[in-house]
Amino acid sequence: MNSDAIALVIAAFGALLFVLACQRLFRGRFVAAGATLLMSVVLLVVSALIVVVALNLHTYSRLTYEQPIAQVVFEARGPQQYRATLTRVPSGEMQMLVLSGDEWQLDARVLKWQGWANSLGLDAQYRLERVSGRYRSIDQERHDQRTVYGLSDNPGADLWTLSTQYPRWLPFLDAVYGSATYLPMADGARYEVSLTQSGLIARPMNQAATTVVQGWR
């Protein structure tokens, strides 16, 4: 029996005792009515506490929820140049891009919900914005060739647009912000990008990616 069912059973007993207390009160049995009412209040409070704790634990579970949104695979094409294959999840849509540099970066816009809305099942929403190459050297970043590609067309009237133009219409919205993740590129490296309730996170998915990440740190 889960916590919701337990809370429901306890609340039902509490409600029955409350009805019984009212009946005894109308009959003039004040002592018995008081004792019954006290038991009723105790049971209702216990059931309420169980619900509150269960909701709190469910909120923590929701906050650790991760939604895979993309995979990126790299193939070396020359010094500091890689062909990246970006596959969106779950659609399977693929894009092949040439990135210059030592690292790759994926940017997205994120809509984050209030805690109570999140606990009810509303997960963070996203829109992939761009993918770009990064140089580890600041001097190269300033002067060498930069590569950046847009990943989203103008979607017209969507939730992001409404949230920025009419924030009062969405009181359950907690934040609207940009999020990015970046890791090193390497020949044969494969990464998975996930959306958490606090933004993007990327993880290596094969040995080539794990090896370059360990050396990068």
Q: What is the pLDDT of residue 7?
A: 58
| Segment among 38-42, 66-70, 72-76 with least mean pLDDT | 38-42
| Domain ranges (residues) in the chain | 3-63, 67-216
Determine if the peptide bond prior to 155 is cis (ω within 30°): no
Summarize the confidence of residues 20-25 as an average pLDDT. 76
Distance (Å, rounded) from C-alpha 133 to C-alpha 80? 9
110: amino acid identity, one letter: V
Q: Which residues partner with 131 through β-bridges?
A: 106, 149
Per-residue pLDDT band at 16 (split at 50, 70, 90):
confident
Alpha helices in the chain (DSSP H): 3-26, 30-63, 115-119, 138-143, 159-165, 207-216
Of the chain, the percentage scoring pLDDT greater than 90 comes to: 41
Q: What is the pLDDT of residue 183?
A: 97
Q: Could you tell me the two tokens for 69?
A: 């949104």
Length of the chain counted residue by residue = 217
Q: Which residues partner with 199 through β-bridges?
A: 196
Distance (Å, rounded) from C-alpha 193 to C-alpha 126? 12
Q: What is the pLDDT of residues 130-177, one digit of tens each?
A: 999 999 999 999 999 999 999 876 554 466 666 666 666 666 666 677
Per-residue pLDDT band at 212 (split at 50, 70, 90):
very high
Cβ neighbours, 10 Å, residue 35: 14
Three-state secondary-structure class, residue 1: coil
Q: What is the pLDDT of residues 1-10, one digit of tens each?
A: 555 566 567 6
Residue 85 CA neighbour count, 13 Å, CB half: 12
pTM, to two decimals = 0.65
| Segment among 68-72, 181-185, 198-202 with least mean pLDDT | 198-202
Q: What is the pLDDT of residues 77-115, one digit of tens each?
A: 999 999 999 999 988 999 999 999 999 999 988 877 776
